[in-house]
Structure 1
Amino acid sequence: MIRSRHVVVACLLGASAVAAAQAEFAAQWPLAPDDPSASAYRVELTPEIYARVWSPALRDVVVVDGDGRPVPAAFVAEPAARAAATRRELPWFPLPGDVGNRDGDIAAISEIDADGSLRRVQFRAPGGEAAGAVLVDASALDAPVTALALRWDETQPPFEQAYRVEASDDLRQWRGVNDEVRVLDLRRDAQRLVERRIALPGPVDARYLRLTPLRAATVPLRLQAVEAELAPAQEPVAWHWQVPAPQPADARGALVYRTDGRFPVERIDIALAGNGTGRWTLERRDADDGPWRIVASDHVVFQAGAGADVRRAPPLALSAPVRDRQWRLTPATPSHGAPPTLRLGYRPETLVFVAEGRPPYALQAGSARAARTDAPVAPLLDALRAQHGPAWRPAAAVPGAMTPLAGEAALQPAPQPRDWKTWTLWGVLLLGVLVVGGFALSLLRGRTAA
């Protein structure tokens, strides 16, 4: 009987603790995991979540387990998405093996098209000289080269050769890229060791590349093709846009736009209602009583054309994300007609949490009292990425429908606690004054009686 009472008391205490924690947040979203067996999850914040956040640093965004207890979580920057590296076969031309020791002017013996591509390289090997050097035409590439791959005949006798790699844009002036690289094709019994790839120390953006042997080849290389490995292009950023409505303009024509959330704004696009051009000053602030801070002064905004042929000023890029809720546009000269459209671009942030405790998990946001303590999530992610490969990412957990908790009451700062120490000191001081006053009054009465 006593044991059951203890269990009931523990359950009541736990329920009261969960209720108290929920009373500190404005709203809650259930999280639906893609993989229920995952050890870590990522949550992409939605506009609805941003609209409930109170802290400028997003400290009031937490994840709780099925018992309402916070789990380790932290905001982690998503790695930039990159396309897979591509290979392209390039035209190549044989050169004398000692071309690097000559004047280096290959343009004099070459035919070059108007676009810079090589049509022909006139080379005749005197006295049966082997064409040990290779000229690679990379003028048609639209991305830097990170590596070269040589392909030779399968009947190629075993060999090992070291090359010096150089680059040029005019076939006259050459700059060093790599002092020594090696390719080889060695055999021993049924075993074979092949190295075809020539890794460059960094992306090389040049029209032409030259491979010059560092020593005379004992076995001529029966080269068949040269491939260039191109630097992977970074995927374009998928910007999300907020379009706040302007308030009526003041006497100067200034327009104030208010957002409904703490979005991490990085791009600002100002679109005119029609053809036109003008200079504007863009400012920002977080609250009505805050000072305006200049974002861009004398910023030129223009627009001409319509539909697919429209030409507009490019979006303004900020050096760091800004979470202020108010933006103001002031024209240099009075602007007539419809107000411009202000579009605020941002990239949704990702909160990563560890699957600690029992599911289901939920995200809570919006509190002027509670604050999340960032957990050391990065080392765990590094360990999981080392185990599963560099492309590994935490499983996704998608926020569901919002459930109100404490609402607007959670966004009110907690009342300042009373300074009982100061009050106690003042009380002791007053008590001392009363005691001294009492002694003085008793002395006066004694003298009067005497």
Structure 2
Amino acid sequence: MSQKLNLGWLGAVALGVALTANAQEKPADFTTQVPLSVSGEGPWYRLELPLNVQLNARQTDLSDVRVFNAAGEPQAYALVRASAQSSEQRVLSDVKWFPLYSAADSTERAPGVRVQSTANGTLVEVQPSSQLEAGEEVLRGWLLDASAIKAPLQQLILDWTSDRDGFQRFSIEASDDLQHWQSWGDGQVARLTFADERVEQREVSLPGQTARYLRLLWSSPQSAPALTSAQVESVSARNVPQPLVWSQPLAGSSVKAGEYTWQLPMGLNVERVQVELSQPNSLAPAIVSGRRESSLPWQALSTGLLYRLTQNGQDVMQNELQLPGQTVQQLKLVVDERGGGLGAQAPTIRFAVRSTQLVFLARGIGPYTLALGSATAKAANLPLSTLIPDYNAAKWAALGKASVEGAAVLSTTSTVTAAATTDTNWKKFGLWAVLLLSVLFLAAMAFSLLRKPPVKP
């Protein structure tokens, strides 16, 4: 009898193992499958998730993302989603500024200067390379000394004398030796009188790189205003944040004048939003709010000035607002109608989120498939340090690359998904029934043995 009990328990264990194996996730359990191509040296491969693919997920935290090999076996993986706020320290520093003069009729793009600095690179004096008579010189821009700041430069904040209201547009260049300059794009600040109120835009975004010196050269108008303050915000981060990725244009709706709403495909940590300004000479102080679902109250996220104006025959535009990166699925824009508003039709917007990278350990034979889209899948990602033993920056740089093949996203049809789900459910029910019957059978045998009188010798 003992042998029969052992066989019964072994059968129950075998059924449990079979149930677990049968319940293992397969690509068909997910609504979207995307073929991947790999290059470089494995066995680890790094994939930057395209935003249009990521939006097929059913869960905000991407718990329903998987990678399978050709045999349909899941691969071990990690998600890398370092946010800008997770490991950074922001510091606002005052910097010295020095005027850059050139002759009024000069054709040189940048004024020639002579500089005097200390041994550690701090600027003491900046003078024009040639003597200029009074009335011949034009203030073309400013040289900022950021040599005392060692962290990446994130934002520039300027203030200037009130006699130069309006828009100020300038180029931004960076250097470590005052000889070789790298373009950091264009900057734009503004000071306007609007409905008896003064509206200012004094902040300019920087690319988050280090530099000892910044050179600002005015282009519209050609002469620069007199600065009264110059500050640089730097960011010290243990982990460099992932770059931003932008969505396709998203249409919205308007229920009343000056108020527009948009529904995002899923909850996302939105960090920036661009508003389409289709009409020239648009001016709109704006407030952006967000929420995760319709039952929650709106929460103010950002304020700013949106404008598209024609100046000196060119369009001057500010259509981007920075958000704190909170998870939202609905956005609302409220504009001050005294500036003319943005029209009755809701403008389209584009939103930006931090790029998400997926690293997987290739096991088995390819090709490999990215699968996502399940409301019930549980998180299965590992910490990066667990997935890659002795992980360091050098290993990250040496990882193989994976990419989505073409632009196609292969989605299983609802009929196939439903059939697969139904088939899986029937199999699960059958296995559970067999398992329960086995347990009941074993319990009955044990009960009968307990009731049987002992055999007399």
Greater C-alpha radius of gyration: 1
TM-score normalised by the chain length of structure 1:
0.49
TM-score by length of 2: 0.48
Compare the two structures and name the one with the higher strand fraction. 2
